[in-house]
Amino acid sequence: MNKKTIWITGGSTGIGKALAIKFANKGWNVAISARRKELLENISNSYENIFSFPLDVTKKTQCVEVFEKIKKELKNIDICFFSTGTWNPKKEKEIDVEQIEDVFKVNFFGTLNSIKTVEQYFKDKKHGTISIVSSIAGYRGLPNSTGYGPSKSALNNLAESLYFDFKRSNVRVCLVSPGFIKTPMTDKNDFKMPFLKTSEYAAEKIYDGLVNKNDFEIHFPKSLTLILKLLNFLPSKVYFNLVGKMTKYQKK
């Protein structure tokens, strides 16, 4: 019997790395991709069932080439976990068009390139899971988030749209919305992050959601995400006032 296989992009650090180790420890074959080859190899050299496939998801042809290599070496792919992302808080405090374009190129279009690469494979197979990593920042607009939040909001909408398209082929599309998780990316933040959790905590929640449950969205920690979901129902005037006070936003 062949081992089950998961392909993880953004697998060199943070949530992607922790999830790769979690699945490997559960006996899965794990294909990890990211731009930094040396980090991928450090992980794969430590686990006999984690395999390195360097990739820049912003390059469409490279996505196709890497996926072909994964299929050739690991055969059957059961889950794709697309978690490539970028964030630069210092450049989010004003409208930096070039920066926003770069964020969308990685966060949104990089994820879209990855999904497009596996689309026909899963539709032909008529089974499997495509998981898209978004963020609580994609729920509603937040201060100092001119690129990251909008890119994640776009992923939320994309995931809902693709849910219908892939369901016809019996393929699950799953949205993952983490709260604040301690990773090299969130280490850049210069504000206190409520309910901050470890990447290992995130990996536990994601593994459980992907393997043991069948919900559309995996969101955590619930103590934070449920509050934010309730905020979605507030009228804009109330929402702006409340979030403004919470983030100490001042009019100029």
Domain count, the chain: 1
Count of CA atoms in the C-beta half-sphere (13 A) of 214: 5
Burial label, 1 (beta-carbon count in 10 A; 0-12, 13-18, 19+): exposed
Name the residue range of residue 237's domain: 5-246
CATH of the domain at 159: 3.40.50.720
| 109-163 tens-digit pLDDT | 999 999 999 999 999 999 999 999 999 999 998 888 899 999 999 999 999 999 9
Is 251 within a domain?
no
Is 208 within a domain?
yes
Provide, rounded to the nearest whole percent, the portion of the chain with pLDDT above 70: 96
Q: What are the two backbone dihedrals, phi and then psi, of residue 247, each rounded to the nearest 5 degrees?
A: -100, 5
Q: What is the C-alpha separation between 50 and 29, in angstroms, rounded?
A: 6
Is 252 within a domain?
no
Is 178 within a domain?
yes
Catalytic residues: 148
pLDDT band at 252 (very low <50, low <70, confident <90, very high): very low
pTM given for the model: 0.92
pLDDT average, residue stretch 42-68: 98
- What's the maximum distance between 2 C-alpha atoms anywhere in the chain? 64
| Residue 76, phi-psi category: left (phi > 0), alpha (psi -120 to 50), beta (remainder) | beta
Q: Please give the pLDDT value at position 192.
A: 75
Is 195 within a domain?
yes
Q: Please give the pLDDT value at position 50.
A: 98
Is 63 within a domain?
yes
| Closest CA relative to residue 127, chosen from 1, 2, 4 | 4
Average predicted confidence (pLDDT) for the chain: 93
Q: Please give the pLDDT value at position 224.
A: 93
